[in-house]
Amino acid sequence: MTLHVLLADTAFDSETTRLLGATFDAAFDRLRASDNALVDDRRAAATREALAKCIIAMVQQGERNPDRLIDDALARLEILAADRGKAASCR
């Protein structure tokens, strides 16, 4: 599932949409660079979806700081993965 699909029922202004895209890309790149098991071929799609949902949820709650969005989304993703043994939704 792509970020555009996840945003289909949600309206954000163009600045916020750029923020979502940039922070998502940066967060996933950081995760991939760490050789985390969540980005292996079997789990990458689910991880990308969960990461996008985490970032979207935080932006909907008013967070706009890219560094906090990235750090907090990755932390939430790790907690969810540890709790469930796989990438999961932040909603």
Q: Could you read off the pLDDT of 7-33 as tens digits, one per residue?
A: 556 789 999 999 999 999 999 999 999
| Residues 38-45: contacts with CB under 8 Å, at least 24 apart | 38/77, 38/81, 38/87, 43/86, 43/87, 45/1
pLDDT greater than 60 at residue 75: yes
User: pLDDT tens digits, residue range 44-72?
Assistant: 999 999 999 999 999 999 999 999 999 99
Distance separating alpha carbons of residues 38 and 65, to the nearest angstrom? 24
